Structure formats: structure tokens, C-alpha cells
Amino acid sequence: MATRDIILFGAPGAGKGTQAKRIVAHLGIPQISTGDILRAAVRAGSALGLKAKPFMDLGRLVPDDIIIGVVEERIREPDCQLGCLFDGFPRTLAQGEALDDMLGRAGRNVIVIGLEVAEEELTRRLSGRWTCPQCQRTYSDPGTCTVDGARLEQREDDKPETVKKRLQAYREQTAPLKDFYQKRGRYRAVDGLGSEDEVWRRVRKVIEG
């Protein structure tokens, strides 16, 4: 069976989290989160984990070479042999080039699914997002959680002034990856507007094609 390595690409608020769950369930591949594997490397006391720990303890960005190293270690594990879904990686052009190189050396190729949503809609979604502090479910209006009754809160990341900064950072740091993958013929644009089921049908058509 061919390896299925996928990057789900899109700005904050594009719906990546929701579609990621459906992709890994449909294909039976693991979701690789750089945050999770960095924390696991620190807990395990690996060489790369020890290098990453001082940066994480100070809340600073972990350097690319360390992140790339832990990703390369992770994709060698048995559960990734049929592929994986990259979550939060790559974030920069340098990381994209490194991932291309490491997958190429392993005889693997990645497909990039880009959830495309207009910035006005992203701002509306993010600014109107409320989160349960207990179960982390998200809602589009203030009130209480329908699961545990906790009062919903708006995270700092979802306040209008912060949303503008998040989208600007995305444009400057991560959006250039779109051009990188388009030039290599690996970028597949998917309309991110509509219901979760509607978007999933579009995503599924790409991964099954």
C-alpha cells in the first residue's frame, strides 16, 4: 500500500482541527503534532528532548533543527509506515524544505491540502469563538457548555485585536509555503466554506483521488 503523508494547510480558523480528525480516522494514519512529540521527547529524556527543554521551559520557539530532528525520529516509528498527517508542521519555508528532504530520502512524498477561506470569514469565525474551560469544546456564541454546564470563555487568541495579529503572522511566516508546494505540484486547494460535512466531502475527494 502506498504511503499517505498529508499536510493540512490553512490559516487559523480555517477548520483544520475538525478535518484532521476525519482524515486520520478515514485513512487509519496517526496525526503528528510537533507539540506532542516535543513534549514526549522531553519526558523520555532523549538527546533532542534535552536540547528542546530549555526553550520550552522559557516559552520560546524551539529552533528548526531540533523540531526537524524530532519529526524525523517520529516518522520512522512503525505506526507511520503507511503515512501520517502533519499537525502544526511545517510552519516556515525552512521547515517545508527540510520535510521535503527527509521524506524524499525515505522515498515518500507529501500532499498538501489547503483549506481556503477568505480573511473576512476567518476573522468572523475566530472573533466569535467561545471555549469551554473544562472540556475545550468550542461554540459560536457566549453562554454555557451543553456538556458540563461551565461558563464559556473567550481565549486571548480569539479576541479581535489578537486575531488580526495571528492572521498577519500567518501571512508573513506560513503562507509562503503555499507557493513552495504549488511549484512542486503538491498543493490541492479545497474550499473551506460550508458545513463540516460539505468541506469533508471535498477533502475526501482529494485524498481518494
Query: Catalytic: which of 22, 137, 155, 186?
Result: 155
Q: Which of 74, 129, 188, 202 does the annotation list as catalytic?
A: 129
User: Is 129 marked active-site?
Assistant: yes
197 vs 38: CA distance, rounded Å: 32
Residue 137 appears among annotated catalytic residues: no
CB atoms within 10 A of CB 39: 15
Neighbours of 107 (CB within 10 A): 7
The single residue of 4, 16, 188, 202 carrying the catalytic annotation is: 16
**Which of 21, 39, 53, 91 is flagged as catalytic?**
91
Q: What angle do CA 80, 115, 194 make, to 5 degrees?
A: 120
d(CA 192, CA 189): 9
Measured distance between the N- and C-terminal CA atoms of the chain, rounded to whole angstroms: 15
Q: Which candidate in 21, 22, 164, 166 is catalytic?
A: 166
For residues 34 and 69, the answer to whether their CB atoms sit within 8 Å is: no
**Catalytic residue at 39?**
no
Is residue 91 part of the annotated active site? The answer reads: yes
Question: Catalytic site residues?
Answer: 16, 91, 129, 155, 166
